[in-house]
């Protein structure tokens, strides 16, 4: 039994949750800030093979242990949860290493490079006392929690139309970091690495998806992957969402818009939101009922790592899977995989179609360079009726191994 659970069982306040940060580059500061801000969390260590980085991190945030590797850190013990902030290609392998030692782990996005990798993490969870959560910090701001509830309870009515835009700008120099821009180490372009935040928020608000029809292109950046993708996503009850993920957009913004039967809900922000980033426009005749409900969604705090770590603490105390649980993270990752499959094959891809036989389950790239990446056009389904997400590797010359 974890120390905190034991203390609770005896009516004592639970001791702080001991957090160790693995990978002390850019995003690690957001984790350290959150752990430092929350009284019931304690930063107990960090690990990074780069001695300069780990020592600077330990000195700045007061981490008592600075290890050269995850394994060295775990060998010392005394860690209640690992925060994985390493490059994406290490996430699944390091999450599994934590789970094999029964240590809960919160993994930065993307949780894994592929559905196949994520399924290995899920398998490791099944025989572990720990669970694996994914960072999706925009789910946890107060308004998102409130809007999710208004959709769930039917107060807003059906979601008929949605927009989900990640219009960001990353100059060529952004891709100088060795793991960026490669299928092998980053797993994808802005769909996988940037838009996934908004895509995850869309699904968490508007519910599951049914199919996706997508295009992708590499227009300008020095990357193997796309630098823009567009998609139409059919939601489970037939509503339609347009999803755009770009790193080519000088006027940057992140937007979600839900046109529901009874109101439009809009969120506009960049890398994080607060209550004022959201606007409700009731449909005619709905204002009297919806405005008090909308007021009730205020005051829950901004999005961000602090908001997610509060939930991490609660989940650990209550013995629940860490947020965002792998089952929910998988739905988002599956949509991303299906989006890449659709962009490569020119077909609409249904949920469930990127199965174990599909090359897009093993890699977002599929089995070969996507046609759009070499300046070609996406295969038209009329030209290639046999092509499918599962059979793309077998039927398309471009997808040959
Ligand atoms: N949630 C968000 O808003 C957000 C924001 C930025 C980045 N991220 C994600 O966080 C992850 C890290 O991004 P970053 O920008 O901090 O990258 P980074 O390159 O700045 O930092 C990665 C760190 O990991 C270290 N590292 C390399 N191999 C390691 C190993 N085997 N064990 C431990 N550490 C190792 C590197 O030395 C480096 O210090 C990525 O998956 C990225 O997509 C998320």
Distance from the Cα of residue 7 to its chain's centroid: 33
Residues 64 and 125 in one domain: yes
Residues 67 and 151 in one domain: no
Strands 209-217 and 228-235: antiparallel
Indicate which atom in ligand 1 lies nearest the CA of residue 69. 32
Total domains, the chain: 2
Q: How far away, in angstroms, is 88 Cα from ligand 1 center? A: 7
Residue 6 has a pLDDT of 53
Ligand 1 pocket member 135 (CB < 6 A): yes
Residue 12 has a pLDDT of 77
- Among protein residues, the one with the nearest Cα to ligand 1's atom 36 is 23
142 vs 275: CA distance, rounded Å: 7
Read off the CATH number of the domain in which 20 is found: 3.40.50.720
Residues 108 and 187 in one domain: no
Residues 181 and 249 in one domain: yes
Output the CA–CA distances (angstroms, integers) from residue 362 to 105, 330, 344, in the order listed: 23, 14, 15
What is the average pLDDT value for the chain, to the nearest integer?
A: 92
Residue 310 has a pLDDT of 98
Residues 146 and 132 in one domain: no
Residue 37 has a pLDDT of 98
315 vs 161: CA distance, rounded Å: 33
Contact assessment for residue 232 and residue 202, using Cβ atoms and an 8 Å cutoff = no
Residue 78 has a pLDDT of 97
Place of tokens 């304690």: 42
115 vs 363: CA distance, rounded Å: 8
Residues 149 and 30 in one domain: no
Coil/strand/helix, residue 96: helix
Ligand 1 pocket member 48 (CB < 6 A): yes
Residue 10 has a pLDDT of 65
Residues 83 and 230 in one domain: no
Residues 318 and 390 in one domain: no
Q: What would the pLDDT profile of 300-335 be if each residue is shown by its tens digit?
A: 999 999 999 999 999 999 999 999 999 999 999 999
Alpha-carbon torsion (118, 122, 127, 129), positive or negative:
positive
Q: Whole-model pTM?
A: 0.93
Structural Rg of the chain based on CA atoms: 21
Alpha-carbon torsion (96, 101, 306, 300), positive or negative:
positive
Residues 388 and 286 in one domain: yes
CA angle in degrees (0–180, nearest 5) for 390-392-396: 160
Number of Cβ within 10 Å of residue 7's Cβ equals: 15
Residue 11 has a pLDDT of 72
Ligand 1 pocket member 304 (CB < 6 A): no
Indicate which atom in ligand 1 lies nearest the CA of residue 179. 19
**Domain span at residue 156?**
138-300+325-401
Residues 186 and 296 in one domain: yes
Ligand 1 pocket member 352 (CB < 6 A): no
- Among protein residues, the one with the nearest Cα to ligand 1's atom 38 is 25
Indicate which atom in ligand 1 lies nearest the CA of residue 24. 39
Q: How far away, in angstroms, is 24 Cα from ligand 1 center? A: 7
Number of Cβ within 10 Å of residue 145's Cβ equals: 17
- Among protein residues, the one with the nearest Cα to ligand 1's atom 4 is 27
Instruction: Report, as ranges of residue numbers, the positions in the chain whose pLDDT lies below 50.
Output: 1-4, 380-401
Residue 96 has a pLDDT of 98
Read off the CATH number of the domain in which 147 is found: 3.30.360.10
Residues 130 and 237 in one domain: no
């Amino acid at each position: 039994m974890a120390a905190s659970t034991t203390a609770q069982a005896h009516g004592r306040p639970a001791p702080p949750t001991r957090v160790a940060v693995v990978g002390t580059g850019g995003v690690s500061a957001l984790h350290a800030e959150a752990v430092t801000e929350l009284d019931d969390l304690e930063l107990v260590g960090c690990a990074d093979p780069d001695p300069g980085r780990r020592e600077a991190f330990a000195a700045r945030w007061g981490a008592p242990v600075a290890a050269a590797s995850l394994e060295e850190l775990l060998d010392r013990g005394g860690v209640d949860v690992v925060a994985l902030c390493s490059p994406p290609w290490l996430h699944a392998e390091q999450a599994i290493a934590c789970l094999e030692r029964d240590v809960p782990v919160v993994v930065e996005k993307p949780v894994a490079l592929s559905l196949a990798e994520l399924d290995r993490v899920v398998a490791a969870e099944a025989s572990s006392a720990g669970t694996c959560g994914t960072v999706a910090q925009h789910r946890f701001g107060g308004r998102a929690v409130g809007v999710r509830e208004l959709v769930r309870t039917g107060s807003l009515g059906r979601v008929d139309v949605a927009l989900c835009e990640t219009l960001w700008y990353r100059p060529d120099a952004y891709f100088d970091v060795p793991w960026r821009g490669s299928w092998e180490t980053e797993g994808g372009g802005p769909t996988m690495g940037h838009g996934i935040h908004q895509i995850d928020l869309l699904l968490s608000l508007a519910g599951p998806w049914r199919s996706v029809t997508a295009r992708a292109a590499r227009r300008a950046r020095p990357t193997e992957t796309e630098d823009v993708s567009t998609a139409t996503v059919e939601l489970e009850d037939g509503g339609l969402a347009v999803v755009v993920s770009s790193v080519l957009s000088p006027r940057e913004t992140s937007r979600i818009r839900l046109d529901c039967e009874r109101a439009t809900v809009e969120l506009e922000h960049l890398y994080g939101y607060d209550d004022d980033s959201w606007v409700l426009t009731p449909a005619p005749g709905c204002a009297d009922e919806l405005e008090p409900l909308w007021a009730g969604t205020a005051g829950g705090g901004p999005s961000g790592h602090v908001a997610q770590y509060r939930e991490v603490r609660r989940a650990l105390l209550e013995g629940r899977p860490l947020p965002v649980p792998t089952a929910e993270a998988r739905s988002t990752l599956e949509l991303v995989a299906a989006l890449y499959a659709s962009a490569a094959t020119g077909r609409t891809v249904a949920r469930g179609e990127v199965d174990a036989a599909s090359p897009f389950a093993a890699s977002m790239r599929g089995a070969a360079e996507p046609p759009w990446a070499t300046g070609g056009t996406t295969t038209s389904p009329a030209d290639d009726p046999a092509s499918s997400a599962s059979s793309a590797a077998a039927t398309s010359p471009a997808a040959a191994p």
